[in-house]
Amino acid sequence: MSRRNLIILITLSFALQQPARADEAKPTLKGGARATVMDVLAGVKQLTTMCKRIDGDAKVLVYECQRQDIVAVGGPNVVGGMVIPAMPNPSGLMTMQGVLPMRKQRVDEMMNDINPLGGTVQTQIDVIVMPDGVTQEDLDRLKKLQQMNTELQALNAKLNEVTKGPQYNNLKIAEQAILVQDKAKAIDTACKELERSLRKEK
């Protein structure tokens, strides 16, 4: 785990939830059905899928920011029995200085995928209802997920700002896309921790 992600996780510690009173209503789903561990596991599974897709889309944005112009300088020449490789490397390709401008179509494609995914993550976390009998640690894990989701939504809002165009700043977009990517990975990891713990309690 990177130092940055470790710092993020440390700052997301929470005070223990107050124990529920006997007269408080037990968690229910729509229609009056009781929440079960299987309901939570199904929701967490969907979250991991959404976060992996956000991670992948953000990664594509980072790659788009780093594209470089590559030109062919000719293949190797054969003189007698000696092969003289192309310069500056045997591939016959040379990377030019600097990076290429970002392609609007590619940026829009990734953002049009990331934005609804972010909305789905928000909705999925909002509807998670912990069943009776779960441990305090699992309740805290849910709180952690909720806080991390708030941070993801804020990071994605900033990513939308820097990808509006028409002019793109490759460095700013790459930096923000990496933050979104890291947060999506952190949520994915937190979901897996919650899933493992809940499966032990089934």
Tens of pLDDT, residue by residue over 19-51, are: 334 333 344 444 434 568 898 999 999 999 999
Within a domain: 202: yes
Given this model, what pLDDT does residue 98 score? 74
Are 130 and 202 members of one domain? yes
Q: pLDDT above 70 covers what percent of the chain? A: 68
Please work out, in degrees rounded to the nearest 5, the angle formed at the alpha carbon of residue 15 by the alpha carbons of 9 and 16.
115
In the chain, how many domains are there? 2
Within a domain: 74: yes
pLDDT at 71 over 80: no
C-alpha span between 172 and 160 (Å, rounded): 11
Q: Map residue 84 onto helix, strand or coil.
A: strand
CB atoms within 10 A of CB 52: 14
Within a domain: 15: no
Name the residue range of residue 94's domain. Answer: 68-101
Start-to-end Cα distance in the chain? 29
Q: Which amino acid is at 129?
A: V
- For the ranges 11-15, 74-78, 96-100, 155-159, the maximum mean pLDDT occurs at 155-159
Q: How far, in Å, are 6, 48, 171, 186 from residue 2 at the CA level?
A: 6, 20, 21, 11
Within a domain: 140: yes
Residue 106, burial from CB neighbour count under 10 angstroms (0-12, 13-18, 19+): middle
Are 193 and 144 members of one domain? yes
Are 43 and 127 members of one domain? yes
Strand partners, 34: 28
Are 62 and 142 members of one domain? yes
Are 125 and 151 members of one domain? yes
Alpha-carbon 179 to chain mean position:
8
Given this model, what pLDDT does residue 133 score? 87
**Closest by alpha carbon to 170, among 83, 63, 91?**
63
Are 161 and 86 members of one domain? no
Tens of pLDDT, residue by residue over 145-195, are: 999 999 999 999 999 999 998 899 999 999 999 999 999 999 999 999 999
**Closest by alpha carbon to 67, among 173, 164, 165, 181?**
173
Are 52 and 115 members of one domain? yes
Which residues are CB-contacts of 154 (< 8 A; sequence separation ≥ 6)? none
